Structure 1
C-alpha cells in the first residue's frame, strides 16, 4: 500500500495547482494524508481525483476546513494506526506537540506538519513523519512530500525532495 503524505500546501497563496512532481507521486497513491494548512478546500478536490483523502486542519485553516476535518484523528490502514495532526501550539517543539496529541493512544506512526521541515525518524517504536511542504519550502533547500509504504506488516517512510513547485 502506498500512502502519499502532504502538509502545509497553503493554496492558493503559495501555488494555484499541485506541483507536477507531486502529481506524479499521487498517481501511485492508495490513500492520501494531509496534515493541515490546506487554507482552501480546493486542495481537497485536487487530491481527491487521485485517491481517498484523510486530513486534519492546521492553524491557517478557516472554519470550513476545521468543521470538515477537525484537528486530529487516527487513520487505520494496512493493519497500522497512523495519528494525524498538524502540530501547532505554544509550548515545546512541533514534534513534541504531535507526540503529545496521541499520548496514551496506540499508534504506529504520527504524521504532522506545521514546521515545513521534513522529518522521518523512529522514536520509542513510533515513526515520526513530517513531509515538509510541496508548495512552501520556507528556509528548506527543497520542496517535499512524503511516502509511507506498507508491505508485509511493515511501514517505511520516505521523503521525496524536488526543486520546482510548478
Structure 2
C-alpha cells in the first residue's frame, strides 16, 4: 500500500505534487492547508487523512482534528502538525509511524522503533528549503519511507 505524504501547502497545491500523489492508496496532509479548496483535489485521488495546523483558521478548519490516527492493517500512523506538541509517547501508544509538518524541512528519522517523517513543504517556497513531498510504502507490518524534492522552477 502506498500512502502519499504532503504538508504545508499554504493555499498552493502544485501540479507536481498532485502528479506525485497519483497512485496513492491513501493520502496524509499534515497541516497548514490554509483553504478548503486544497482538499477536494486530494480526495479525488485517494482517501484523505488531514490535521489542522496553526495557519488553518476559519469556519472551514473548525472540523479538522489536531491529531489523527490512521490504521493500515496492524500498522498505526499518528498524524500531528507540530512534532514539538506531540501529546503521546508513540511507541507506548502502539504507533509505528509519526507524520508531522510545520517546519517545512523534509526529514526522516527513527527512534525506539518509531519512524518519524516530515514531508516538508509542498506549497510556497520558504527561505531556501526544497519543495517536497513523501510516501510511505506499507507491506504488512513493514514500512519504508521516501522523501522527494519536486522539480520546481
TM exceeding 0.5: yes
Question: In the aligned structure 2, how far is the partner of 1:28 from the partner of 1:136?
Answer: 24
Matching of residue 72 in structure 1 with residue 58 in structure 2:
no
Pair 1:102 & 2:97 matched = no
What is the number of residues matched between the two proteins?
A: 151
CA distance in structure 1 between the aligned counterparts of 2:146 and 2:117, rounded to whole angstroms: 9
Determine which of 55, 60, 64 is the counterpart of 1:60. 55
Q: TM-score, normalised by structure 1?
A: 0.84
Mapped to 2, the partners of 1:140 and 1:65 lie a distance apart of: 31
**Stretch of structure 1 that moved more, 133-142 or 42-51:** 133-142
* Counterpart secondary structure, 1:101: coil
In structure 1, the gaps of 5 or more residues are 88-94
Following the alignment from structure 2 to structure 1, what is the Cα–Cα distance between the partners of residues 128 and 93?
32
Where in structure 2 are there 5+ consecutive unaligned residues?
none
What TM-score results when the alignment is normalised by the length of structure 2?
A: 0.90
Find runs of 4+ consecutive structure 1 residues off by over 4 angstroms.
none
* Cα displacement (A) at 1:65: 4.3
Q: Which residue of 2 aligns with 1:39?
A: 34
Alignment check: 8 A CA contact 1:142 1:163 kept? no
RMSD between aligned alpha carbons?
1.7
